[in-house]
Structure 1
Amino acid sequence: MKDAHILSAIETTLRGPMANAHMANFDPDARLNEDLHLDSVLILHLLLHLETMHGIDVPEREMSKAGVGTVRDLIAFLTGQSIEAEQEEEIDIKVHCVVSCLSAAIKACPDLDHRPFYFGVWDTGFEVDDAFRLSYHGPTVKHDHFRHWFRRLYGVNVIGWYSKDRTKAENIACFEHLLATKRSTEHLMVMLDMYHLPERENKFNQNPFPHYIMIEKTPDPDRWFMHDPDYRWEGILPRAAILNAINQPTVAGGYIFDRAKARAPRNEDLRAYFEAVFLEKRNPMIDATRRIVRAHLDPAGPLNHTALADALRELPVLAIRKYAYEHGFAVFWRALDLPDQDFEDWCDEIEALHQGFRTLQYKITKLSASGDPALATQVFAALDALDQRETHIKAGLKAWFVKWQVSTFASGEVPLVMTGADQ
């Protein structure tokens, strides 16, 4: 199939059934996310339209792994051509906005390692509401767990300054007072709605998009320095724009903490943290996804397959958290001085796990559109395969943890049987 035909099909789909509002930016070099505002879920919908309405085969290989960033890249992906991706500098894994903000402060401290704080982030909290919709943020998602362990590991108290007993205006006044008076070693976190901060592009383009960032003053009182560790961005933005994003009814939260006296975690606390968060025998996100799919396919229930794609729209946001396994392996790999190849092999497994969620998302999108029982079988098979792979990764991580215990603690002090929450 010729490139021109696929280009025309992409444009027709975006202008027609997808009603993309940013087609003034459309051309072969338009960036899918930044110019056309297509997040990972919308790209899957685009692929589905191209496959079902235009007869364009969608390859099995993973788009993000192929380096698809522009319309031209997408055409190359669909036609099996190689894509010349820009070589990116290796950067830290960022998978959770609260953890990323706290970890950024630890990274600013010489000789301290932030990676142990990512233990368990691969399974950290999410919400499934009464309509069986998955969300990374909601009323039941709390951060007290991270605050407790940050204090125990690094000796830093994370203080919540936002109060639900105050009005939004009063909380913003409190925020501005803290910003004006905080010490240079203090970090001021605030939750804002990224959707209402158009100056900041993000790969998901969600509405709403609750997200924690950190703010600093600048010499200009009308402009603030915003540090977003989770999206690896920092820069100066108008004070009014940031306050508008904070003022949205979709967000409420904030913390302040001082890294001045941060210390290295004690080994016994590292062990306790790992054991507290390690769920060896279950994979909560996969279990929740399976329940959601079943609920939407149950002929006796109130839901139907057409709402399934929307119910799992935030799955890509949560799937990124699986990269936290790399931090877990890295802690023990460095401590035990294990071969580089051993670590790289597990990183490949983790990458395959994440890519498997992307493949699952496309199957779910197709199932939601058609309700085809054969596709339902494929979705459940994909979930089972992901379950098996993640359990395998956890078994490998536990084995490294046990080796670390043996090498770290005196004989007789090491509990070789896990004492985690699901044992």
Structure 2
Amino acid sequence: MSTTLDAAIAAIRGVLAGAMAHPHLAAFGPDARMEDDLRLDSVLRLQLLLELELQAGLAAPEAAISSTEIETVADLARLLVGEAAPAAPAPSEDDDYVGVHGELDYDIKIHCVVSCLCDALKQAGVDHRPFHLAVPDAAFAVTSAWRLAYHAAAVDHAPLFHWFTRLHGVQVEDWYDRAASKAENIARLDAVLALRSPTTSVMVMLDMFHLPERENKFNQDPFPHYLLLETTADPAFWLVRDVDYRWEGPIARDRLVHAISRPTVAGGYRFDRATARDPNPEDLAAFVRAVVPFGVNPLVEALKLIVEAHLAGRDGVRLEDLESALAELPILIIRKYGYEHGLAWFWRALKLPAREFDRWCDEIEALVAGLKGFHFAALKLARGATPEVVADIRTRLADLDAREHAIKRRLGEVFELWAAATLPGAEVIRFRRAS
């Protein structure tokens, strides 16, 4: 290991132990895993990169900001000292390349409610990919303090349940009584679980922060989250099916009751996949028109408002508050991968060229990376509004807006082609060609 790499690793430890006062350093070393061993979520990683730049002069390359391949301390150190990662193999030019038209062995998990609903579809053998078009612009909130929130009283999942029922014929029943006490709702949950049929999913909201047994990769407190529950042969344990985080296993009932009973969470639903079906074309067309806001990018618009509010000191917020105002942004960024599943469904239906689909997947990946880059730039802005930093932030937001509009234009064009072929004579939306 080179001295330069050693110095970068030492700088990482120094920042974590010093400026960040990070409490989880017992396992620190070159091979320590950033998330599992050091418990550095995406926001803490951005803070680490910023402190490394400001205190140690180790400027973070874009790859370090947006990469999903940084697993260990050594991986990060190599990027900081300019050691290139092994080049990815060039894509095959084989004429027999099938890409999206072959087996799709990946499955994104980007929204806990949608993941629970789609789990039922997958178990019923129904293609769940079109439903993911509801995710990129799924509801979120900007609070009165100009904070971004993925969970708030104003966030309503009713439209998701409406479209799930209309598209797939599965009724979603709200078993949780918000007017009742926590104890009464736990009793209701016991009854719902006792009556659960083999094809019924029982979904409940709990605060993941109070389940240290489970992953909290976003390091949120509170961390409202939906997952699925079943009974086990041992009444002291419930089976947890956390499909959003791809985890299944027993957890003590009293631990789960504690997490469900937190004042930060309230909600629960059940639905029976026995009636699940593929959507009819008319309903699918109505769904796309309803859930995809083709003319606007709500998240980017919200980020513009939040940044300008903090720059102007609106409603008493300070510029340094911008860091906490965007703490939940990583949870919303990953929702943009929903475009990929939606595009894949239409691409397969129309048998469009596989390589073009791959290029649009690259655009979606670039959108996600760009949002992560914006988040890092916003942390810099929170430390001081120099003209250069402000200009950079505004340029990044404009670029993100243009990129997401381009993705939506192509999605709209593909949807229009599908609608014209599938719904002869039906009125379809007209989209400008992407330049």
Taking structure 2 as the reference length, what is the TM-score of the superposition?
0.92
Contact 1:66–1:83, Cα closer than 8 Å, also in 2: no
Partner of 1:246: 260
Secondary structure (helix, strand or coil) at the match of 2:293 reads coil
**In structure 2, what is the equivalent of residue 199 of structure 1?**
213
Could you tell me which residue of structure 2 aligns to residue 71 of structure 1? Answer: 73
Tell me the secondary structure at the aligned position of residue 122 of structure 1: coil
Mapped to 2, the partners of 1:372 and 1:357 lie a distance apart of 21
- Pick from 38, 41, 50: which aligns with 1:39? 41
Q: Does 1:368 align with 2:378?
A: no
Could you say which residue in structure 1 is the equivalent of 2:31?
A: 29
Q: 1:82: how far off?
A: 4.2
AA partner of residue 77 (structure 2) = I
1:104 paired with 2:106, answer: no
Could you say which residue in structure 2 is the equivalent of 1:55?
57
Superimposed CA distance per residue, residues 202-230 of structure 1 (whole angstroms, 9 cap, x where no aligned partner): 32111111000001122222222211121
Match of 1:217 in 2: 231
Conserved? CA contact 2:64–2:70, under 8 Å: no
CA distance in 1, matches of 2:49, 2:175: 44
For residues 160-239 of structure 1, the aligned pairs below 5 Å read 160-239=174-253
Moved more, 164-173 or 23-32: 23-32
Match of 2:337 in 1: 323
Aligned to 1:421: none
Q: Distance between the aligned counterparts of 1:29 and 1:217, measured in 2? A: 39
Cα offset, 1:198, TM superposition: 0.9
Aligned positions of 1:233-382 closer than 5 A: 233-298=247-312, 302-382=316-396
1:161-207, CA deviations, whole angstroms, 9 ceiling, x for partnerless residues?
11111000110111111112211110000001111111112321111
Q: Which amino acid aligns with 1:403?
A: L
Contact residue 62 and residue 355 of structure 1 kept, 8 A: no
Determine the structure 2 residue equivalent to 1:126.
140
> Which deviates more from structure 2 when the two are superposed, residues 230-239 or residues 75-84?
75-84
Does the 8 A contact of 1:25 with 1:35 survive in 2? yes
Inter-partner Cα distance in structure 1 for 2:141 and 2:335: 15
**Deviation of the 1:84 alpha carbon:** 7.3
Query: Is the CA contact (8 Å cut-off) linking 2:313 and 2:319 kept in structure 1?
Result: no
- Contact 2:176/2:268, CA 8 A, preserved across alignment: yes
Equivalent residue for 2:426? 413
Share of identical aligned residues, percent?
Answer: 48
- TM-score of the aligned structures, taking structure 1 as reference length: 0.94
Q: Unaligned regions of 5+ residues in structure 1, if any?
A: 419-423
CA distance, structure 2, for counterparts of residue 309 and residue 126 of structure 1? 18
Tell me the SS of whatever aligns to 2:334: helix
Q: How many residue pairs were aligned?
A: 415
Matches of 1:278 and 1:200 in 2, distance apart? 33
Give 1:328 deviation, angstroms.
1.3
Equivalent position to 2:83, from 78, 81, 84 = 81
Unaligned runs of 5+ in 2: 88-103
| 1:66 CA displacement | 5.8
> Within the alignment, does 1:95 sit opposite 2:110 as a pair?
yes
Taking the aligned partners of 2:6 and 2:316, their CA distance within structure 1 comes to 44
Query: Shift in Å at residue 83 of structure 1?
Result: 4.8
Q: State the alpha-carbon separation in 2 of the partners of residues 63 and 375 from structure 1.
A: 17
